[in-house]
């Protein structure tokens, strides 16, 4: 199996494919769209890779970090997730933001991925939490007697009628922890300033 490639980028296509020359051999590598800007023709490249073998093709997928490659391989193990969907997920979410979306039960973040609807997002949420070792916050909270403040703020904002895009944007701007009341107050201030 090819674990990584180091060479020079010869070509970059908008389809998400780069041609990396390694020792005189050009490797066609599919990469997440988030990695494309850093892979300009003529620049050096190092990619962690996954070789996906099918009956009719061998496709090489490349990632700038080991965490992205490992997350890609975990995604492939999820029910109904093939390489195309796994790459689409990593084109929208970095591994850390994907884990955060799973931790916060953020279905809207998962539906940002092209081809993922609400039903698929719900299935992915359950399947990926176990595969990516994301703790089930609800279970942890029940056992510890402590609620998840960010999840409560997200639910409160949705209950107040804010659109999922607005909620997602403001959730990225408030602190990771704190009292629900304080976090909600901060979120509402940010939302009112944006309008």
Q: From the first residue on, what is the mean pLDDT of each consecutive set of 10 residues in the chain (195 residues)? A: 92 92 94 92 95 92 94 90 93 89 84 88 84 57 56 80 78 78 84 76
Please name the residue ranges forming H helices in 44-194: 66-76, 83-92, 95-103, 107-110, 118-131, 137-144, 149-159, 164-171, 180-194
The reported pTM is 0.70
CATH of 144-195, one of 3.40.50, 1.10.287, 1.10.3470, 1.10.8: 1.10.8
The confidence score (pLDDT) of residue 191 equals 80
Fold for the domain defined by 4-64? OB fold (Dihydrolipoamide Acetyltransferase, E2P) (2.40.50)
Ordered by start, the domain boundaries in the chain are: 4-64, 67-134, 144-195
The confidence score (pLDDT) of residue 88 equals 94
* Domain 67-134 in this protein, CATH class: mainly alpha
The confidence score (pLDDT) of residue 133 equals 67
């Amino acid at each position: 199996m090819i674990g990584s490639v180091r060479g020079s980028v010869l070509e970059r296509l908008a389809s998400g494919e780069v041609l990396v020359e390694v020792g005189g051999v050009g490797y066609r590598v599919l990469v997440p769209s988030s990695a494309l800007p850093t892979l300009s023709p003529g620049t050096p490249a190092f990619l962690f890779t996954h070789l996906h073998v099918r009956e009719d093709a061998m496709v090489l997928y490349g990632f700038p970090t080991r965490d992205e490659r490992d997350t890609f391989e975990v995604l492939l193990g999820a029910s109904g997730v093939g390489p195309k969907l796994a790459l689409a997920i990593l084109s929208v979410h970095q591994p850390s933001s994907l884990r955060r979306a799973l931790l916060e039960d953020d279905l809207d973040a998962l539906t940002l991925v092209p081809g993922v609807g609400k039903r698929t997002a719900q299935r992915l949420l359950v399947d990926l939490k176990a595969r990516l070792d994301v703790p089930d916050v609800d279970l942890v909270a029940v056992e510890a007697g402590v609620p998840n403040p960010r999840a409560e703020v997200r639910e409160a904002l949705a209950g107040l009628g804010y659109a999922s895009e607005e909620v997602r944007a403001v959730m990225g701007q408030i602190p990771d922890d704190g009292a629900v009341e304080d976090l909600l107050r901060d979120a509402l201030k940010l939302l009112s300033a944006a309008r």
